[in-house]
Chain A
Amino acid sequence: DGGITQSPKYLFRKEGQNVTLSCEQNLNHDAMYWYRQDPGQGLRLIYYSQIVNDFQKGDIAEGYSVSREKKESFPLTVTSAQKNPTAFYLCASRDSDSSYEQYFGPGTRLTVT
């Protein structure tokens, strides 16, 4: 089946450690996105990529980094510089020929203590 996978579903880290969240899609979509969601709030854009080897900062990119070396993969690294990393992280992809719909993964809940 085609879709987006994010792993793991739950992730626990100690403060001061970098952590990388995985996002893989087999939909052959060009564009991919990372969002952060805090309890009771909407989604905020961290980074997005319209094409391989290119990405742009979203509204809250500080303390995060990404890479887009392959079309199907868009990993997000939460660095120790991110002051409040505990959140629900959602990855999405979009077919650039059908620009209206984003397909979301199941999300990763990151807890940093």
Chain B
Amino acid sequence: DAKTTQPNSMESNEEEPVHLPCNHSTISGTDYIHWYRQLPSQGPEYVIHGLTSNVNNRMASLAIAEDRKSSTLILHRATLRDAAVYYCILRDNFNKFYFGSGTKLNVKP
């Protein structure tokens, strides 16, 4: 069974915020939450990661629920270049990364 659950697809308008949800109800206390995104026929690229506290970087924000059973990736102003498959991932303390099936984000102009 997958360790993370995400909606198959979401749609957003350009220049509007996007909230991408992820459930990880079986997360252990030492698992980190990572988000990567993947363009067609390319390898995934790192977006953001966190453990317990909310995180911000130049690409996005990560909001982590208090019980850590869910998280949300926030793109503050979606652009056409943000159209990709977004993966919510758990990294365990052996540095194994567990990918979910991803959310395909479509951005409309």
Residues of chain A touching chain B, judged by Cβ–Cβ distance below 8 Å, are 4, 31, 33, 35, 40-45, 48, 50, 58, 88, 90, 92, 94, 96, 99-102, 104-107, 109
16 contacts between A and B (CB under 8 A): A35-B99, A42-B101, A42-B102, A45-B96, A88-B41, A90-B43, A94-B95, A99-B95, A100-B32, A100-B34, A100-B46, A104-B42, A104-B44, A106-B42, A106-B43, A107-B41
CB neighbours (8 Å) of B49 from chain A are 100-101
CB neighbours (8 Å) of B102 from chain A are 42
CB neighbours (8 Å) of A107 from chain B are 41-43
Choose one: A48, A94, A104; the contact of B45 (CB below 8 Å).
A104
Per the bound structure, the CA–CA distance linking A100 and B42 in Å amounts to 20
In the complex, the answer to whether B95 meets A42 with C-beta atoms within 8 Å is: no
In the complex, the answer to whether A102 meets B2 with C-beta atoms within 8 Å is: no
In the complex, the answer to whether B42 meets A43 with C-beta atoms within 8 Å is: no
Distance of A48 from chain B, by nearest CB (Å):
7
In the complex, the answer to whether A42 meets B43 with C-beta atoms within 8 Å is: no
In the complex, the answer to whether A58 meets B95 with C-beta atoms within 8 Å is: no
**Interface positions of B from 6 to 49, Cβ below 8 Å from A:** 32, 34, 36, 41-46, 49
CB neighbours (8 Å) of A41 from chain B are 101
CB neighbours (8 Å) of B44 from chain A are 43, 90, 102, 104
Per the bound structure, the CA–CA distance linking A12 and B2 in Å amounts to 30
Per the bound structure, the CA–CA distance linking A42 and B99 in Å amounts to 6
In the complex, the answer to whether B97 meets A45 with C-beta atoms within 8 Å is: yes
Per the bound structure, the CA–CA distance linking A4 and B45 in Å amounts to 13
If the complex has contacts A90-B43, A104-B44, A107-B41, are A44 and B96 also in contact, measured as CB distance less than 8 A?
A: no
